[in-house]
Structure 1
Amino acid sequence: MPRTQSLRVGRHTLTLHRQDKTLLPAVGSSDAITKGDLVGYYREIAPFMLPHLRGRPLMLERLPDGLDGSRIMQKNTPAYFPEWIRRVTVPKEDGTVVHPVCDDTATLVYLADQAAVTLHRWQSRAPAVRHPDRVVFDLDPSGDDDFEAVRAAARQVRELFEDIGLSSGAMTTGSRGLHVVAVLKGRHTFDDVHDFAKEAAGALAAAHPDRLTTAVRKEDRGDRLYLDVQRNAYAQTAVAPYTVRARPGAPVATPIAWDQLDDPALTARSWTIDNALAQARTRPWGDLARRGRALGPARDALRRLRDEQG
């Protein structure tokens, strides 16, 4: 295979490099995943993935030498990226960071050719980068064989969100657990949303003290599932829907319909680049993105609920 090849994607002609390079090893009888496989997957999944990426600052998890090589967690956009790739400058304590943004298929393919295996997104969109429109609960099992506890916790998070007027969806992470994502109007700050997420996690842990915990220290959790809401703080990221994870076999973080939680065969790595597109075509989250609600009424409802519970 030639070291470079050209590919027309939309209005742009990309020069792709070393498409036969192995990025992720095989699992079982599957083949190893090459850069060409990654490019092909992201090109196909783009219509379903881009709505979850547009306008959002990204952190790129790059494996230029494959899974056995160095892992680069890249926030700043390199100077050599094409000018047509959108950037967004966001403030940090000691300056600014110029994040890449993926608004189109050409950008997604270009990032894949840069061996950006996993895309981690902000919970806000430019230009309102300080006002998140997502709340994320990250649910990982205390042990690798305890996925049933993750399912139960996801249902409990959903029930709480419904009780306080928020719509949410579940997503396998492609790693160990599930994310539950609720949609907001995006009118409040990260501090507001992070505080709300901590209050909601506290309410759930108080209602299910034998199963759930907000204890940050692992030694304080026991066998209880940790309700991780740290991804709701400013400049924190979460894996994007339909992104590939940097693991053997190329598992994919995949949105699911709520009734798919009832499938006993479901795991955090049920989907890979071989079958995630078929799942995406079912549109498991439906019109969730259009059902964002204001944080204020939800926060008030949560506090009333906590008061009722004593």
Structure 2
Amino acid sequence: MAVTNPAKLLFADGHISKRDLIDYYRWVGPRILPFLRERPIAMERYPNGIEQTGFFQKSVPSYFPDWVKTIAVQKKQGGIARHVICNDVALLVYLANQACITPHAWLSRVDKLEYPDQMVFDLDPSADTFDWVRAAALALKELLQELTLSAYVKSTGSRGLHVIVPLKRTESFESVRTFARAVATIVVMQEPSQRTLQQRTGSRHGRVFLDINRNAYAQTVAPPYAVRARPNAPLSIPLFWEEVRSKTLRPDGVTLRDIRKRLDGMIDPWADFRRRASALGSAWRKLELLGVSVRVPQKAKLR
């Protein structure tokens, strides 16, 4: 594939070119592709660099070559959209050449789009309160472990953290979102002065927003190792839980320039992510034993 305008600066502050972005995605392909394969992708593109306005593109442009794998999916508001499916390094590199800084992936795979294989808690600070974000993430981990669910954490590359639970594909998005809301409610009640479920920014009053709204059909998440469209090209990085306890942790602390040093000889914190997938059946019942009132969606089955 011929690279177009390789010297074009996509991150002027860090002097990071399109060639740098392409080289990075080619190198990190084996690590990021397990979180992209067989999932519809939304492309976050900045053809003129991040200093200029970018755009999200869900539907595949007409000029994409025939070898690009796609899937037609039903849109929430009706109609059909054709999304990219990124299964190999060649396509990942092609997307980078299209100035796709971040490929955002669905939480479900093409053979079972209505059933997610992960549950996401997006911890979003309302102010410079990252210590509160770390505390909320650790509280989530403790509660999820009590519910016998595996919890993994990654930086967003922006301001917060993602806590993600790998799931067996036995529950609908509606069911998973209901469960996530119940869990988030408990964690908020533990520290209501620091945490909130209020979606409106003006109602958060400086508290950390525990966002569970990504747990819905056609919602996406930046996968591990994705570049984010922020100054100096920070990455969304899988973390060890021990790192979350450190006050030196920053959500944008690892960049495209220094990722190789971090990963050199390092064990992957998410190496067993897929093998630890769980059904929610027993976790639903454990929530009820904790005295949580959970309105289970009509279509959801307690297993």
TM-score normalized by the length of structure 2:
0.92
Q: Quick check: 1:110 aligned with 2:94?
A: yes
- The answer to whether the 8 A contact 1:171-1:256 is kept is yes
Aligned to 2:200: 217
Preserved contact between residue 182 and residue 292 of structure 2 (Cα < 8 Å): no
Give CA deviations for 1:38-71 in whole Å, capped at 9, x if unaligned: 0000000011111111111111000011113231
Report the CA distance shift for 1:277/1:168 in structure 2 as closer, same or farther (over 3 A): farther
Alignment of 1:129-140 (within 5 A): 129-140=113-124
Give the distance between the partners of 2:81 and 2:43, measured in 1 at CA: 13
TM-score (norm 1): 0.90
The alignment partner of 2:142 has SS state of helix
Partner in structure 1 of residue 216 of structure 2: 233
Q: CA deviation at 1:134?
A: 0.6
Letter in 2 for 1:268: P
Aligned to 2:125: 141
The amino acid across from 1:128 in the alignment is K
Partner of 2:10: 23
Q: Which moved more, 1:78-87 or 1:167-176?
A: 78-87
Establish whether residue 160 from structure 1 lines up as the match of residue 147 from structure 2.
no
Pairs within 5 Å for 1:1-310:
14-26=1-13, 31-92=14-75, 93-144=77-128, 146-280=129-263, 281-307=266-292
Unpaired stretches in structure 2, ≥5 consecutive residues: 294-303
How many angstroms apart in 2 are the aligned matches of 1:169 and 1:278? 22
Match of 2:189, SS state, is helix
Alpha-carbon distance between aligned partners in 2 of 1:125 and 1:183, rounded to the nearest angstrom? 13
SS of the residue 1:266 aligns to:
coil
Q: Which amino acid aligns with 1:170?
A: V
Deviations 1:120-154 (A, max 9, x none): 1111111111110111111122213x211111011
Which ranges of 4 or more aligned residues in structure 1 deviate by more than 3 Å?
277-281
Identical residues among aligned pairs (%): 41
Report the Cα distance in structure 1 between the residues aligned to 2:163 and 2:220, rounded to whole angstroms.
14
Q: What is the deviation of 1:115? A: 0.1
Q: Which amino acid aligns with 1:23?
A: L
Rounded Cα–Cα distance in structure 1 between residues aligned with 2:21 and 2:4: 12
The 3-state SS of whatever aligns with 1:89 is: strand
How far did 1:78 drift?
A: 1.4
**1-side partners of 2:261 and 2:72: how far apart?**
35
Report the equivalent of 1:9. none
Q: Per-residue deviation at 1:286?
A: 2.6
Aligned counterparts of 1:81 and 1:277: Cα–Cα separation in 2 = 31
Taking the aligned partners of 2:111 and 2:292, their CA distance within structure 1 comes to: 37
Q: Report the 3-state secondary structure (helix = DSSP H, G, I; strand = E; otherwise coil) of the residue aligned with 1:192.
A: helix
Letter in 1 for 2:272: D
Following superposition, the deviation at residue 287 of structure 1 comes to: 0.5
Q: Does structure 2 retain, via aligned residues, the 8 Å contact 1:196–1:299?
A: yes
Contact conserved, 1:24 with 1:66, CA < 8 A, in 2?
yes
User: How many pairs align?
Assistant: 290
Which amino acid letter does the alignment assign opposite residue 58 of structure 2? K
Runs (5+) with no aligned partner, structure 1: 1-13
